[in-house]
């Protein structure tokens, strides 16, 4: 048994890793070349934001929008979090400071990123606060007007850590990490006006063979169903997480139970690629115990594409979702590893060849817990939850030369 400690927003998270073994595919690792990383913004803490944990989105106006889990003028030294807009050249505007209402009725600690919905407004979750102190779902306009749509009360879930997704039916779908009838989190549907329906109740960790404690949001597949991960649960001991499918009406099917040998504790959501398969990461597990990248079919056949080795050879502890880029490859981040143990940005092909594109060294950021977003010019934008000029996180742009002359168009 090995205990892993890492920081998110200055708070240590402890996880216990049970080392297992499993046959795995050998893949090649190639070196990076000609990458250019620019720090666009360094967070400075209260009264500004601090510790961006979630991914950015590029909105229809061309700007990027996101959240910080800490900072802002409220809640004392560490702050309660913010929502912000940043231009592609790095001009940041704070749109909202959480816990601006008495008793933090508007929520605080928004760890997940935002989504832009069909009405052009932004929607997100705060992991704490609200009427019962257990988190909220909110809408925020591009000018910063925030409306709390739902306050969780425990019975319908608590601690929503993942981003929302707007389904094809116009409703929003998401997860909570705790609460619900079983105590292990929920999957929910919410109308744009805030009417929430619990679709599924997970039971609590060791007792929950069908998964427990989903940390990430969902993705809607081409078949209309939603796909996601749970950080804990499953039939193996210790229970180290699952991949699941759930219909819009709430019928859940477990597609894969992680065993530690093929990955453990998936904190990130999935992405459906152009080949129809889903791709994701596990924070720990694999032959080296440092996490994996995997592919899984819609019927549940899992292939481990890459197993991280950690410091100093490559990355470790990937906690963010992958993004499939215009060249057809996948791009992502790891929370740790690299030559400075501050995390990396990587590219991985659909067959598992991994390239380290950037190693963080704290001065240019550290501990990237959010994923990347690619713009139409091929650049990537992302966040680090720590490091930078003040040590409280950054927003960066990474320019990556692509080998393809005519890149495929993603659907």
pLDDT tens digits, 175-232: 999 999 999 999 999 999 999 999 999 998 667 888 999 999 999 999 999 999 999 9
CA–CA gap between residue 389 and residue 95 (Å, rounded): 22
**What's the pTM value of the predicted model, to 2 decimals?**
0.90
* 201 lies in some domain: yes
Average pLDDT of the chain, as a whole number: 90
* 3 lies in some domain: no
* 6 lies in some domain: no
CB atoms within 10 A of CB 87: 14
* 410 lies in some domain: no
Two tokens, residue 111: 């760890």
* 405 lies in some domain: no
| Nearest Cα to Cα of residue 49 among 7, 108, 106 | 108
Question: Are 186 and 179 within 8 A, CB to CB?
Answer: yes
* 276 lies in some domain: yes
Tokens 């850590």 -> residue = 161
* 166 lies in some domain: yes
pLDDT for res 267: 98
What mean pLDDT is predicted for residues 264-276? 98
pLDDT for res 402: 64
Instruction: Give residue 228's domain range.
Output: 22-399
More confidently predicted of 236 and 104:
104
CA–CA gap between residue 259 and residue 23 (Å, rounded): 12
403 band by pLDDT with thresholds 50, 70 and 90: low
Q: What is the pLDDT of residues 114-152, one digit of tens each?
A: 999 999 999 999 999 999 999 999 999 999 999 999 999
The CATH number of whichever domain residue 43 belongs to comes to 2.130.10.10
Tokens 């490091």 -> residue = 387
More confidently predicted of 27 and 38:
38
33 band by pLDDT with thresholds 50, 70 and 90: low
31 band by pLDDT with thresholds 50, 70 and 90: very low
Domain count, the chain: 1
CA–CA gap between residue 237 and residue 244 (Å, rounded): 18
Q: What is the pLDDT of residues 155-171, one digit of tens each?
A: 999 999 999 999 999 99
* 377 lies in some domain: yes
DSSP letter (8 states) at residue 274 = T
What is the chain's length? 411
Two tokens, residue 119: 């009405």
């Amino acid at each position: 048994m090995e205990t892993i400690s890492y920081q998110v927003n200055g708070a240590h998270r402890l996880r216990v890793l049970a080392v297992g073994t499993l046959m795995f595919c050998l893949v090649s690792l190639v070196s990076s070349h000609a990458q250019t990383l620019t720090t666009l913004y360094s967070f400075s803490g209260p009264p500004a934001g601090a510790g961006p944990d979630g991914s950015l989105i590029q909105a229809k106006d061309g700007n990027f929008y996101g959240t910080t889990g800490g900072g802002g003028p409220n809640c004392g030294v560490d702050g309660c979090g913010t929502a912000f807009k940043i231009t592609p050249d790095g001009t940041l505007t704070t749109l909202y400071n959480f816990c601006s209402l008495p008793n933090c009725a508007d929520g605080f600690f928004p760890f997940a990123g935002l989504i832009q919905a069909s009405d052009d407004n932004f929607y997100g979750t705060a992991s704490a606060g609200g009427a019962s102190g257990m988190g909220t779902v909110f809408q925020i306009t591009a000018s910063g007007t925030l409306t709390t749509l739902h306050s969780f009360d425990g019975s319908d879930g608590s601690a929503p850590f993942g981003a929302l997704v707007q389904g094809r039916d116009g409703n929003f779908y998401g997860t909570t990490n705790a609460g619900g009838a079983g105590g292990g989190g929920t999957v929910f549907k919410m109308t744009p006006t805030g009417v929430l329906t619990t679709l599924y109740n997970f039971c609590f960790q060791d007792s929950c063979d069908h998964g427990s404690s989903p940390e990430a949001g969902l993705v809607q597949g081409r078949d209309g169903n939603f796909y996601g991960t749970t950080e804990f649960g499953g039939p193996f001991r210790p229970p180290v997480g699952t991949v699941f499918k759930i219909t819009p009406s709430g019928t859940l099917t477990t597609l894969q139970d992680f065993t530690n040998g093929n990955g453990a504790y998936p904190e990130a959501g999935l992405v459906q690629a152009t080949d129809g398969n889903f791709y994701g990461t596990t924070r720990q597990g694999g032959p080296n115990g440092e996490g994996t990248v995997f592919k899984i079919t819609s019927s549940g056949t899992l292939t481990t594409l890459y197993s991280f080795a950690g410091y100093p050879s490559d990355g470790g502890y990937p906690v963010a979702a992958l993004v499939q880029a215009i060249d057809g490859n996948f791009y992502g981040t790891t929370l740790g590893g690299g030559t400075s143990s501050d995390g990396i940005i990587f590219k991985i092909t659909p067959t598992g060849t991994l390239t380290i594109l950037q190693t963080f060294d704290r001065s240019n950021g550290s501990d990237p817990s959010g994923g990347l977003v690619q713009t139409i010019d091929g650049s990537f934008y992302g966040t680090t939850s720590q490091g930078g000029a003040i040590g409280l996180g950054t927003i960066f742009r990474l320019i990556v030369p692509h080998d393809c002359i005519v890149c495929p168009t993603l659907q």
